[in-house]
């Protein structure tokens, strides 16, 4: 069986948060991750969905991914940073503990769920990865990195039709991802051939 991991998803899995968010605030005056009409994320997604140039789209996609990996909470940002460091040092249990603490503090933010899902995926715990990606997608349904991870897990667990539906949703937000577009086309043809 073949598995597809697009270039962007590789970045989602491998690039840790570089440091504390420049936009982190003290815990007393934290901003909510709930979207408002002036939410910069809306503008970023609009640019990404309208861009057909794959190179420019990759820049927009990275900006969105970086934005989603941040928290307005200085405490949560620090816990995520410590988690990244622990995972890099091979201390997976500590990394997961830091992220669980971040989620307990701010369950309304996708950043820690996204990070924890990646760790679970990397270590082969697809069920927990899917739970965390599901939580992150409830908070930010346009998270194409999360959608890509979900589709990859569905494909790896023998559910190509479900994976295809998720990849199509991914393309709604990131249409310039040619690798995913080609994969969707090929998979549709393969599945159509099997039905004949």
Residues with Cβ < 8 Å from 70, sequence gap 6 or more? 17, 21, 23, 24, 77, 111
Q: Each residue of 141-195: pLDDT tens digit?
A: 999 999 999 999 999 999 999 999 999 999 999 999 999 999 999 999 988 887 7
Average pLDDT over residues 79-89: 97
Measured CA angle at 37 (ends 35, 40), to 5 deg: 70
- Give the per-residue pLDDT at 85: 98
Distances (CA, A) of 44 to 19, 23, 38, 174: 21, 17, 11, 11
Give the span between the Cα atoms of 22 and 30, in whole angstroms: 14
- Give the per-residue pLDDT at 192: 83
- Give the per-residue pLDDT at 30: 44
Q: Each residue of 13-45: pLDDT tens digit?
A: 444 433 333 333 334 444 444 544 568 999 999
- Give the per-residue pLDDT at 147: 98
Which residue in 44, 62, 60 sits closest to 8, CA to CA? 62
Domain at 8-13+37-195: CATH code: 1.25.40.10
DSSP-derived secondary structure letter, 72? S
Give the span between the Cα atoms of 181 and 164, in whole angstroms: 11
- Give the per-residue pLDDT at 5: 56
Which residue in 178, 167, 172 sits closest to 54, CA to CA? 178
Model's pTM, two decimal places?
0.78
- Give the per-residue pLDDT at 27: 42
- Give the per-residue pLDDT at 6: 58
Give the span between the Cα atoms of 144 and 62, in whole angstroms: 11
Show me where the domains of the chain are located: 8-13+37-195
Give the span between the Cα atoms of 106 and 185, in whole angstroms: 39
- Give the per-residue pLDDT at 195: 72
SS3 letters for 11-22? Answer: HHHHCCCCCCCC
Give the span between the Cα atoms of 78 and 100, in whole angstroms: 13
Q: Each residue of 95-148: pLDDT tens digit?
A: 999 999 999 999 999 999 999 999 999 999 999 999 999 999 999 999 999 999
CB atoms within 10 A of CB 19: 12
- Give the per-residue pLDDT at 4: 55
Where is average pLDDT lowest: 1-10, 34-43, 68-77, 163-172? 1-10
């Amino acid at each position: 069986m073949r598995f597809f991991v697009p270039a962007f998803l590789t970045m989602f899995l491998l690039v840790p948060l570089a440091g504390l968010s420049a936009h982190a605030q003290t815990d007393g005056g934290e901003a909510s991750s709930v979207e408002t009409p002036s939410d910069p994320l809306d503008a970023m997604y609009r640019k990404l969905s309208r861009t057909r140039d794959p190179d420019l789209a990759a820049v927009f996609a990275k900006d969105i991914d970086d934005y989603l990996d941040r928290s307005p909470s200085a405490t949560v940002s620090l816990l995520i940073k410590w988690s990244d460091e622990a995972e890099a040092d091979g201390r997976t249990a500590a990394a997961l503990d830091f992220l669980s603490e971040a989620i307990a503090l701010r369950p309304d933010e996708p950043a820690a769920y996204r990070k924890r899902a990646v760790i679970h995926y990397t270590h082969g715990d697809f069920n927990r990865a899917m739970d965390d990606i599901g939580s992150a997608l409830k908070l930010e349904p346009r998270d194409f990195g999360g959608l890509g991870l979900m589709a990859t897990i569905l494909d790896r667990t023998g559910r190509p039709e479900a994976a295809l539906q998720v990849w199509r949703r991914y393309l709604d937000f990131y249409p310039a991802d040619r690798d995913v577009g080609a994969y969707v086309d090929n998979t549709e043809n393969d599945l159509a051939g099997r039905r004949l």
